[in-house]
Structure 1
Amino acid sequence: MISLVLAMLWRRRGQAGTLALLSLLAVASAVAAPAYLIAAERAVAAGQIETAATSELTMVTRRSLDSIDDPSGRAGIDFPDAGKVLLNLNGFTYYHSAEVPAVGLEKSIEFPTRAVYRQGICDHVRIVSGRCPAAEGDALVGEDTARRLGLAAGDVIALRAARQNDLTNPPTWTAEGVPKTMTVSGTYRPVDSTEAYWGLHGYFVGGPGIGSGEPVFTNHETLETMQRTVTTMAIDGIAEPGTIDIDRLDQLRADLVRINTTSDDLDQIQFSSAIPRLLDRIDEGRAAARLLVPVIAVPLVLLACFTIYLTVGYGAEGRQSELAVVALRGTRWWTRWWLATGESLIAVLAGAVAGCLTGQLLVNAAAAALFPGVGADPAFSSLRYAPLAAVAALVAAVVAQRRQLTSSVAGLLRRTPATGRRRVAAAEAVVVVLAIATGAQYALADEPLTGVGMFAPALLVLALALVAARALLPLVNRGAVAALHRGRLGFALAGLQLSRRPGAGRLFALLVAAAAVAGYAASAVDTAARGREVEAMLGTGADRVLTVNPVTKRKLIDAVRAVDPDGRFAMAAVKLPAGAQTPPGYAVDSERLATVAAWPEDGPDPDDVHRLLHPRAADPPLFTGPEITADITYTSGGAPLRLTFSLSSTAGLGDGLLQLGELRPGTHTYRHQVALCAQGCRLNALSITGGDADTPTVSGQVVIRGLNTGQPAPLTDPARWRPTEEARLSAAPDGLRADVTVPADGAVGAWIQPVATPYPVPMAYAGRELNDVTVTGVAPAPVPLTPVAALPAVPAAGRQAALVELDYLDVLSAEPKEASEPQVWLNAAAPADIADRLAGQGLSVASDAPAATVRAGLDRQGPAVALWFHLIAAVLAGLLGAGALALTVAVDRTRRAEDLTALRIQGLRRGPASQATLWTYPVLVTIATGVGVLVALAAWRLTGWALPLAGLTPPDLPLPTWPRPSAVLAAAGTVLVVEFLVALFSGRNLRRRIERP
């Protein structure tokens, strides 16, 4: 019997080879999914390690020593116990450091100067002038600090250790140690302030209340001989290349847990590291991959089993006459079973064995192309689903031949099956019910991609394909009958072949499912790719965002406009300060929104937003030259008052305060020369503060009678001025009268601002409508905001944020305070030397965040890596559809050739015969592909919302939820082309057969 089955295989070797190929694809699909997951998990780890921030490659052990425990304040700055924590861990380079807070260098006591010893400092800074510290008492001062304080190499400075005084508000720093005299050995700038060498210490972070962001570096001997208050000592471990490796992540996590435990056992030792955050992000990416790969692998495997079921069934129908002879001879049941199924089972089994190797080789090739240097790390675990897939393929082959195994001789000789339609309808109904049940669980579950919910996309695709076949084939039959009545025999014969051929509905459903799987995969890939683009661009705010060291808002605006006067590539931006009534968001130079900012797709026109955010307002009083003159009448309430002007240059020279000093009772003219106003300046506000007095508050009346502004200041109209609650304004006969009551200590003053902005300030908002919101910390009083435009999202801030005009916030700021996080947003047209150009205007770049770098990082995360398998699945689905079609046509060829030859003999013309042979299956493929696109979109609508395309914690941005039509059509079109060519070539072969003489 074996030799007979082998002879049958050889006789129909084309069909057997095609069936083996389909079985190969089925098992390869089952093997490729776990094999790809192994490769994807390695690629996710490698990508996250490669794009990790420097803080995620370091760890630090700290110990603080307080002079309270050491009255001399000169204890050694070494702590050998730390070696038990870090130094026994291989693969890290270690640096020792110590620092002491000090005062004496800066005038302000709101923040300390950081006096720091750091091992190897001279290898990581550029010496601008002088030399590195060598002798005891040498100090290295930051370049900007030296310029600001007028220091140079050889100058002497004195630092005193300080302690924070929490009794003041804000806290201040009080000198406590003996002064330490140091010699400025040189000035420096860091080579790269973001390199891993600097660890987690934030040496170069500056800002209001923080400091200059430039520590004073010295050597070990100098710091050890200094009388200190609190000494913070540290050992930093910097990961060497290859230490954080994809093959030793578990060991590294265990080492970090051990270090944490050890540090807890040591007195006054604190251990911290961001490496666990990197490891957690790797785990999150791997978890996303483990969700996304099965979503497309399950429908692919089901499609493969359906393909084998269909093709084996078609082959068995083609061999019914042979099997009828076997049944007629009265052979035993096992002989009949073997002769009926042996040919198919051998082909399926051979394909299954080859599929195990093919699946792994396919993944190896894909990993080599997609993740160079990572490798697929083949393992036996990738074969864990191969036996199940092989068994499923064999079961599908047996079930497909059930009729040939159980039918009588008469049933086998009948070309059109008389029974079985009810069983087919019942099976299809079961699939539809399962699709509804799993779809409901998918929609209602908190975690839809678990349990049976994982099968929902696959069952929905299959159910919709079967329903489409049930619905459309009767329409094709009606069309064929109508064509027959109109005498269009070619179209009628083609349509009847499709609608009345046994199994044609299942073939149509399979082709629909193949196109749908490809379309679904394309939907996921395209939606995710566009989402990553939104995350990178809209999430960053622009093509590139530079964060600069703290400067005033006016300085930021003027510097950016000086670098880019035409507004072609740069825009100033400042984060809105956080507060209970302040929404997150940005203040921007809104006239440049259209050219610079990344803008949400369905947002209003950015130029329209600019016009709403920056309506025309009254001009503030402007001084045209360096001389400032003010005619003021002061009526004292018993204690002196001081008057200060807040000014901003109109020529980009910055901001400043002009202190007129104590006001003299009576009418006087005050004249001052202000260099800031040499080319003109703007009056931002007047500040009236109390002088020394024995009472808690000071009151008085100030009448401003004249200012030497270019245009007369509107002094007689109190409505043109905006006071804080400490002042009451009214009109005097010849000026502006202010009745003032302020604290005598001068901590809080009365501010009077010219009305030069809309008030409340216009605001574009995203999310729920924001009412009764204010911006605090930028002006003497909270600045109210009023919504004027709705946005889908605020660039760089998200879907619950606000956008306001930076120029107006600057005008309302009154005093020249530094912005906490000033930024410069750039588009792709920004010149390569933009950082140097900004430095020429006084802006020092602290960090650089290109959207392209963000996009590259997103492309290495779990969802993006996993979705490459969707493209592989789309290719395999197309091959399955083409293979099933080829085998079906091959089985049909003999019978159709007999039928059409007989019709030709009876007088059927050549033209209609050619139409019937050439266009039967191409039309079927075309219709099925079109329906497949609709099925893919329907399945995507029902299930795509739950896929973690943006990661497990997606950002608060309007990410796309639908693919572009072009992407779905491109995937379906590729499947259509392949299947159309198979159908066309098969039709030509059939035509040659019936045209033979």
Structure 2
Amino acid sequence: MISLVFVMLRHRRGQAVTLALLGLLAVTSAVAAPAYLIAVDRAVAVGQIATAAPNELGLMASVVKDERVATEDDAPDPSQAEQEGLQFGDVATALVALPGFTYVYSAEYWVIGIDPNPANAGRFVYRQDVCAHLRILTGRCLAAEGDVLLGEHTAQRLNLEAGDSIELRSAVPSPDPRKKDWLPDGKPRRLLIAGTYRVTEPSASFWGARPYFTATPETGPGEPIFTAAVTQQTMDHGRITLAMDGRAGPAALHPDRLGQLRADLQRLGQTTADVGLAVQIDTGMTALLDRIDIGQSSTRLLVPVLAVPLILLACFTIFLTVGYGLEGRQSELAVVALRGSRWWTRWWLAAGESLIAVLAGALCGCLIGQLLVDAVAAIVFPDGGVPSGWSSLRFAPLAAGAALLSVMVAQRRQFVGSVAGLLRRNPSTANGRWTIAAEALAVLLAIVASVQLVLSKGSLTGVGLFAPAILMLALGLLAARALLPLISRYAVRALHRGRVGVALAGLQLARRPGAARLFALLVATVAVAGYATCAVDTAAAGRAVEATLGTGADRVLTVQTAQPQQLLAAVRRIDPDGDFAMAVTRLPPGGSADEAPGLAVDSTRLAAVAAWPSDGPGPAEVAGRLRPELPAPPEFPGPDIAVDVSASGLVPGTKGLRLQVSVSSLNGIGDAVIELGELQNRSATYKQRIAVCQEGCRIDGIGFARTGSFPITAEVVLQGLRATVPDREALPVAQLADPNGWRAGPEVRLAQAPDGLRLTFAESVGDSPFVWIKPASTPAQIPIAVAGGRLADDVISGLDAKPMLTTNAETLPVVPQLGRRAVVVDLEYADRITLNAGLGNAPQIWLNAAAPPDILDRVSAQGLTVIADVRSDQVRRRLEQQGPALALGFHVLAGALAVLLGAGALVLAAAVDRHRRGEDLSALRTQGLRPGPAGQAMLWTYPALVAVAVVIGLLVAAIAWLVTGWALPLAGPYPPDLPLPGRPRLTVLLPVGAVVLLVLTAVAVATGRDLRRRVMHRGTP
């Protein structure tokens, strides 16, 4: 019997090879999914490590010691640190041996002495090998005891240079919480400025997580004073922070030992707790490992979404092709049954040919699947490496078993069918009760899976994971059952109209029992490829939105803390024409957790610079609404200001008012609120020198602070506001005296007086400690553009974190960088409303593609230090290295394999049909059928089937995507609050459908031509 089966295989070797190839593809699909998961897990890890921030690639262990209370028990650690003159014993105890790490030692404490501002202290830092990571601008690097290095901005601001001598002493913050001064904590020491430096890469891994280059109001410009270990140690000081920065090397961050790294970090934290040392461990590596885990979890959801339909499609293909083959062998099987052969002989002769072919293909598929994924991984993940081993082959027996089971199920009729049934020329149609029950079950499962997906809010677990696969299969079956009767009707009508060729082709499709299953298979094939296209294109468009709208512009520079007015002036000096740069700062968070975040932008450059959503109002229109026309603000040209005021109705000591003025520098130095003095019941001139007004200032407001505890009824006349320097012009009296040029609250009535502007205070002024009048150039309510609906209270936090009244100017679909629930205001107008803005919240400079290559130097020349440089194309590349993007590579592979499965099924079905169709058409040719209609019937039967299947398959893919695509974590499990696209572009889906149509049509035409050649030239099949 075995030899007979092999003779059958040799006789029908074309069908056997095709069936073996289908078995190969089936097992290849099953092996490819786990193999791809292993590869993509490694690629996710490698990609996240390559794009990680410096603080995520290492750890820092630090301890604070007071050298004045150190005891003899603090024995020095015999390490390189001791040789440098420092003791890192406590830190080294906490840092157990972590393989693959290298360490940099550092120590620091605060010093004062060179900055005249008592609120500014400097970091006095020793860092191992620091000179190798600095650019020395003037002088030399550290060479002897007593040498120090100053940052370039610090040296310029304090007018110091290399070779100067300075005096420093250690410092501690003032214990008075109301004062932000630094107090001496050691003896002064004379030191030599050996040179000045610039940090070329402040974010380099060498600097670890130390905030050396972050400026704050209390610590100055963010440039440490670097010195040698012996200089730092011998200077009189108290508290000192000793630290070891560990940098992880390739061995520590190898993708195969990330689990061990997490365990080592957990053990390190436990060790420090057990030892009982006051050692602080700071690391971002845990966040990196968590991000890798999240990315890998996304791949484990996205890969099976198409792996499952691909495997089902492979089994369905085998089932269909085996069934087709057995229909062509029914006469042989009928003879075997008629001879009374035993059941196992009958079973072996029926199944052996298909089982051997599928088994041979399955064995090859085990190897091909792994090698295919290895090749794809080497191309798609060139830096991710290809994992060694064949662990994915553990799924091969299951896939092979499913393929063999499909063979057995396809032959059930031949096992149990009667001899009469096997001898029938026309087998039973596809309307049997078992067929209808199976299709009804598929539809029911599709409904259950889709409902479960909705009820679980998109959780791809349980039946929900199979929802796309079952839905595409059910829709394919329904399409086949609905469409083929229509084809039959169309064929009958064509026959009545004399279109014989078209009629014969249609009847061949409609009345072949296997044609419905073949059509359903082709629809499912196209649907899998279409669904893969939907996922890949939607995710790619989403990454583009994240990279552009999520970043805000082509390039975003985050600078050290600066006042909004300073940032605005600096950016306008960098780009005076507004072609490529825009100043941006975040509005401080309000007291309510429900308050939407806000962005303050220089709206005059919004249209030129910002990334903007395609729907909703355009950036130019929004900018016009955010910045309505207002009068020019009043200005005075000096550092010295004089205000002429007369007052009456004041009771000294109980009902006094103190005069204040809020100003902003015209050159962007900053703003200030100046106290001029207490008003008297007479005319007086109040003078003050304002440091920020060297180049002139604008007036943001004139204020009156209540000095008593009782309500005030008084009258004040502002008679003049001028610069005290003779050659400087004063504010025109007409502008000052015009009540329409000022805004005031209900506590004050404004009127024009013969000698100036009259202010009459009502009793209600006692309810507020401050009363301000502001120029008409200051909006009473700031216009805002809102995304996410109208604000509940029409109030947002201003630049000083105080409430600011708003007026809703425009509604947006999204605010760049912030998301779908946020507000936008004009930065200059917000600064005018704010009396003392303070430091900006996350000040940034947004740039478009036209920004010059030397933009960083231009920013530095304005006294701003860039601490982060984010480009939208870099963000997009980083997103493409994350789990969702990498996992979708399998969808491309699945789509290609699905098309190959459909093509193979088409070839085998045509090969089986060739004999029957050849006999029919030869008989019709003998009876006088013209060559033209016969050729049409032979050539275009399967191409027509393919064309209809491609159209329906794309529709099935679109429906399946609408029902289930929203649940796919294409942007990860925690997508950003941005309007990510939810459907693919037709310009992408239709070309992919055209390619699939071209491939399948080419296969169908080739089979038709072969049949036509046999019939037309030989006259027999």
Query: Which TM-score band (shorter chain)?
Result: over 0.9
Q: Of the candidates 333, 338, 344, which is equivalent to residue 323 of structure 1?
A: 333
**Residues 1:275 and 2:288 aligned together:** no
Aligned-partner Cα distance in 1 for 2:319–2:379? 34
Q: Report deviation, 1:61.
A: 1.0
- Aligned positions of 1:670-685 closer than 5 A: 682-685=698-701
Match of 2:420 in 1: 410
Aligned-partner Cα distance in 2 for 1:22–1:15? 11
Q: Of the candidates 558, 564, 574, which is equivalent to residue 553 of structure 1?
A: 564
Match of 1:768 in 2: 789
Q: Of the candidates 316, 320, 324, which is equivalent to residue 306 of structure 1?
A: 316
Match of 1:173 in 2: 182
**Residues 1:597 and 2:606 aligned together:** no
Match of 2:931 in 1: 910
Q: Report deviation, 1:895.
A: 0.9
Match of 2:889 in 1: 868
1:87–1:94 Cα contact (<8 Å) kept: no
1:559–1:841 Cα contact (<8 Å) kept: yes
Shift in alpha-carbon separation, 1:138–1:60, aligned structure 2, 3 A:
same
1:620–1:683 Cα contact (<8 Å) kept: yes
Aligned-partner Cα distance in 1 for 2:798–2:227? 36
Shift in alpha-carbon separation, 1:103–1:679, aligned structure 2, 3 A:
closer
2:700–2:778 Cα contact (<8 Å) kept: no
Residues 551-578 of structure 1, C-alpha deviation per residue, up to 9 Å, x if partnerless? 3323322332233233222111111112
Match of 1:188 in 2: 197
Residues 712-733 of structure 1, C-alpha deviation per residue, up to 9 Å, x if partnerless? 5543444532458997755544
Aligned-partner Cα distance in 1 for 2:748–2:138? 51
Q: Of the candidates 198, 207, 215, which is equivalent to residue 216 of structure 2?
A: 207
**Residues 1:518 and 2:529 aligned together:** yes
Shift in alpha-carbon separation, 1:624–1:228, aligned structure 2, 3 A:
closer
- Aligned positions of 1:281-430 closer than 5 A: 281-418=291-428, 421-430=432-441
Shift in alpha-carbon separation, 1:16–1:713, aligned structure 2, 3 A:
farther
Aligned-partner Cα distance in 2 for 1:526–1:700? 71
1:310–1:400 Cα contact (<8 Å) kept: yes
1:641–1:700 Cα contact (<8 Å) kept: no
Once the two structures are overlaid, the 10-residue window that deviates more, 13-22 or 732-741, is: 732-741
Match of 1:831 in 2: 852
2:427–2:513 Cα contact (<8 Å) kept: yes
- Aligned positions of 1:585-984 closer than 5 A: 585-623=598-636, 630-634=643-647, 637-638=651-652, 645-648=661-664, 652=667, 654-655=669-670, 661-662=676-677, 666-668=682-684, 682-687=698-703, 702-707=716-721, 714-718=735-739, 720-723=741-744, 731-738=752-759, 751-776=772-797, 778-779=799-800, 782-815=803-836, 817-984=838-1005
Match of 2:541 in 1: 530
**Residues 1:492 and 2:503 aligned together:** yes
Aligned-partner Cα distance in 2 for 1:353–1:781? 72
1:646–1:816 Cα contact (<8 Å) kept: no
Q: Of the candidates 157, 166, 173, which is equivalent to residue 164 of structure 1?
A: 173
Output the amino acid matched with 1:597. A
Shift in alpha-carbon separation, 1:449–1:400, aligned structure 2, 3 A:
same
1:546–1:847 Cα contact (<8 Å) kept: yes
**Residues 1:223 and 2:232 aligned together:** yes
SS state at 2:62 partner: strand
Shift in alpha-carbon separation, 1:643–1:154, aligned structure 2, 3 A:
farther
Aligned-partner Cα distance in 1 for 2:467–2:1004? 31
Shift in alpha-carbon separation, 1:936–1:605, aligned structure 2, 3 A:
same
2:370–2:390 Cα contact (<8 Å) kept: no
Residues 405-427 of structure 1, C-alpha deviation per residue, up to 9 Å, x if partnerless? 22222211112223762211111
Aligned-partner Cα distance in 2 for 1:253–1:880? 43
1:753–1:814 Cα contact (<8 Å) kept: no
Shift in alpha-carbon separation, 1:407–1:596, aligned structure 2, 3 A:
same
Q: Report deviation, 1:436.
A: 1.8
Q: Report deviation, 1:389.
A: 1.2
TM-score, normalised by the number of residues in structure 1: 0.93
Output the amino acid matched with 2:4. L
Q: Report deviation, 1:863.
A: 0.7
Shift in alpha-carbon separation, 1:704–1:994, aligned structure 2, 3 A:
same
Residues 606-644 of structure 1, C-alpha deviation per residue, up to 9 Å, x if partnerless? 111111111112222244788866443355753797756
Q: Report deviation, 1:658.
A: 9.3
1:577–1:775 Cα contact (<8 Å) kept: no
Match of 1:89 in 2: 98
Aligned-partner Cα distance in 1 for 2:439–2:850? 58
Q: Report deviation, 1:33.
A: 0.3
Aligned-partner Cα distance in 1 for 2:713–2:185? 38
Once the two structures are overlaid, the 10-residue window that deviates more, 775-784 or 378-387, is: 775-784
Once the two structures are overlaid, the 10-residue window that deviates more, 563-572 or 521-530, is: 563-572
Shift in alpha-carbon separation, 1:527–1:119, aligned structure 2, 3 A:
same
TM-score, normalised by the number of residues in structure 2: 0.91
Residues 97-116 of structure 1, C-alpha deviation per residue, up to 9 Å, x if partnerless? 22223334334444532222
Shift in alpha-carbon separation, 1:960–1:354, aligned structure 2, 3 A:
same
SS state at 1:98 partner: strand
The two structures, once aligned, show a CA RMSD in angstroms of 3.0
Q: Structure 2 regions of 5+ residues with no counterpart?
A: 77-85, 722-728
Q: Report deviation, 1:187.
A: 2.2
Q: Of the candidates 247, 256, 261, which is equivalent to residue 238 of structure 1?
A: 247
Match of 1:14 in 2: 14
SS state at 1:247 partner: helix
SS state at 2:841 partner: coil
Identity %: 54
Aligned-partner Cα distance in 1 for 2:497–2:58? 81
Output the amino acid matched with 2:205. A
Residues 26-53 of structure 1, C-alpha deviation per residue, up to 9 Å, x if partnerless? 0000000001111111111111111111
Q: Report deviation, 1:189.
A: 1.9
Aligned-partner Cα distance in 2 for 1:789–1:444? 36
Shift in alpha-carbon separation, 1:583–1:167, aligned structure 2, 3 A:
farther
Q: Of the candidates 458, 472, 482, which is equivalent to residue 461 of structure 1?
A: 472
Shift in alpha-carbon separation, 1:756–1:422, aligned structure 2, 3 A:
same
Output the amino acid matched with 2:298. A
Residues 400-459 of structure 1, C-alpha deviation per residue, up to 9 Å, x if partnerless? 122122222221111222376221111111111222222222221256211222111111
Aligned-partner Cα distance in 1 for 2:339–2:257? 67
Once the two structures are overlaid, the 10-residue window that deviates more, 712-721 or 623-632, is: 623-632
**Residues 1:562 and 2:573 aligned together:** yes
Once the two structures are overlaid, the 10-residue window that deviates more, 59-68 or 249-258, is: 59-68
Output the amino acid matched with 2:241. T
Output the amino acid matched with 2:93. K
SS state at 2:245 partner: strand
Q: Structure 1 regions of 5+ residues with no counterpart?
A: none
Q: Report deviation, 1:704.
A: 1.4
Once the two structures are overlaid, the 10-residue window that deviates more, 43-52 or 77-86, is: 77-86
Match of 1:992 in 2: 1013
Aligned-partner Cα distance in 2 for 1:778–1:748? 21
Aligned-partner Cα distance in 2 for 1:402–1:656? 88
Q: Report deviation, 1:588.
A: 0.6
